[in-house]
Amino acid sequence: MRVLKFGGTSVANAERFLRVADILESNARQGQVATVLSAPAKITNHLVAMIEKTISGQDALPNISDAERIFAELLTGLTAAQPGIPAGATENFRRPGICPNKTCPAWH
């Protein structure tokens, strides 16, 4: 069993995310693989800033907007690179607490 963890710059954009998918596919051919995906580049910094700003009474909205933009760009790039992704498949990612159909089997 191999455990592979990816985050930061290795999942920062669609091209790098797809490279991770290739690595996972290659490793899966050789045996069992467990995968851990952590935050894309800059997301952790924005999360920390959001918490710190909220605690100190400052406006965290710029960090929220930046984090949303990072994920939107990643999803747009993945959708463009993978034509098999149905239109609108990523729409529910924008709604906290909503899991897109067929992506959270434990919730169905």
Query: Over the stretch 22-63, which tens digit does the pLDDT of each residue have?
Result: 999 999 999 999 999 999 999 999 999 999 999 999 999 999
Q: Which residue has the higher pLDDT, 8 or 95?
A: 8
Distance CA 8, CA 92 (A): 23
Model-level pTM? 0.75
pLDDT interval class at 106 (50, 70, 90) = very low
- Give the tokens for residue 103: 């992506």
Torsion, Cα of 103, 49, 10, 37 (10° steps): -30
pLDDT for res 107:
40
Q: What is the pLDDT of residue 86?
A: 73
pLDDT band at 98 (very low <50, low <70, confident <90, very high): low
With beta carbons less than 8 A apart as the criterion, state whether 70 and 42 touch.
Answer: yes
Q: What is the H or E stretch that residue 40 is in?
A: strand 33-40
Residue 22 and residue 81 in contact, taking contact as beta carbons nearer than 8 Å:
no
Which residue ranges make up each domain of the chain? 2-83
Find the DSSP H helices in the chain: 14-30, 43-55, 61-81
Given a contact cutoff of 8 angstroms between Cβ atoms, the answer to whether 64 and 50 are in contact is yes
Interhelix angle 14-30/61-81, nearest 10 degrees: 60
At residue 2, the pLDDT reads: 93
- The first and second tokens of residue 26, run together, are 């290659």
Least confident of 37-46, 69-78, 85-94: 85-94
